[in-house]
Amino acid sequence: MRFSRRGFLAASAAGAVTLAGPAFALDKLTVVATTGMIADAARQVGGDLVEVQSLMGPGVDPHSYRQTRSDIVAMTRADVVLWHGLYLEAQMEEFLHKLEKRGTVYAVTDGLDRGKLRSHPDYDDKFDPHVWMVPDLWTGVVDQVRDVLSDVRPDMKDAFHANAAAFQKELGDLQAYAERVIATVPQESRVLVTAHDAFSYFGRDFGFEVMGIQGISTQSEAGLNRIGALVDILVERNIGAVFVESSVSDRSIRALTEGAAARGHEVIIGGELFSDAMGRDGTYEGTYLGMIDHNATVIAQALGGEAPARGMAGKLSAGF
Ligand code: ZN
């Protein structure tokens, strides 16, 4: 049995219960996060004071994910529910707004400076949700996670602040690493062709032109016209590599390489990038740091730049 937060506070105020040893260990703050990236941020900030569950695992597409029956149970029971917002969880949004009325439910992008966000090409009043692609932007999300957890458990505030600061230092190192290796890619090769438009922030902040076959959401179908136009660009600009994504079907990317081959231009698949989900649980790529390290390293290597074989910290899986 876990103490409910309310029960714990009431008992403490009355001085009737001494929380020591195992009893306190059972009183972890329970957090449910929609995406793996948010769950990772909550684990980093919460450390061993929180129990975090991620609803969407590796390879899951958040644009089309809909909550399951067990997700609903988990979210209803959790002390805190963290979701992304910016219309990323398009199929869950209605449910999450309803849940907001009942408990601590918070969209981690709500407090981000709108001036740093890219507008959504399809909607006037919406923004591109893919802010995790740039560590400098993600550090703002970590601020939000820290503040939400601190509001819910002021007694743990100091630990949350210390943990967040330590993680943000790592994010700063990751940002510097990504900038350094991406800068080695020759200027004319700085074109990133991927399955959907998840990399626009990456392109803006690291100086890449980004072309997705689908739009900003995976919900739109790639038309043949779009494929044809991209094949023209690959051939005309002599672009040598395109990328598949872990959470999106690679069918349309293969249509591109085949289309270019039919015109005598060889395009390789430069590797698999983590776009909207992290790698396997329990691996380095299954963490936020590993996800972005992987992306920056793979992109630099495939497009003629230089990056260490195993990435920033020598932790990337061999043969990715
Ligand atoms: Zn996406």
SS3 state at 227: helix
**Spacing, Cα 124 to ligand 1 middle (Å):** 18
What spacing in Å lies between the alpha carbon of 27 and ligand 1's midpoint?
35
Q: What is the pLDDT of residue 297?
A: 97
Residues 74, 55: Cα–Cα separation, whole Å: 9
Q: How far is the CA of 198 from the centre of ligand 1 (A)?
A: 5
The domains located in the chain, with CATH, are 5-178 (3.40.50.1980), 185-302 (3.40.50.1980)
Pick out the chain residues at pLDDT < 70: 1-26, 216-222, 319-320
Instruction: Report residues near ion ligand 1: CB below 5 Å.
Output: 198, 276
Q: 203: CA distance to ligand 1 center in Å?
A: 14
What φ, ψ does residue 304 adopt, rounded to 5°? 90, 10
Give the burial string for 156-180 (b: 16+ CB within 10 Å, else e): beebbeebbeebbebbeebbebbee
Which pLDDT belongs to residue 195? 86
Residue pair 57/277 in contact (Cβ under 8 Å)? The answer is yes
- How deeply is 25 buried, as exposed, middle or buried, from its count of CB atoms within 10 A (0-12, 13-18, 19+)? exposed
Residue owning tokens 């390290």: 293
CA of 53 to the centre of ligand 1 (A): 21
Distance CA 53, CA 176 (A): 30
pLDDT for 248 equals 80
Distance 112 CA to ligand 1 centre (A): 18
What is the Å distance from ligand 1's center to 24 Cα? 39
pTM for the full predicted model = 0.88
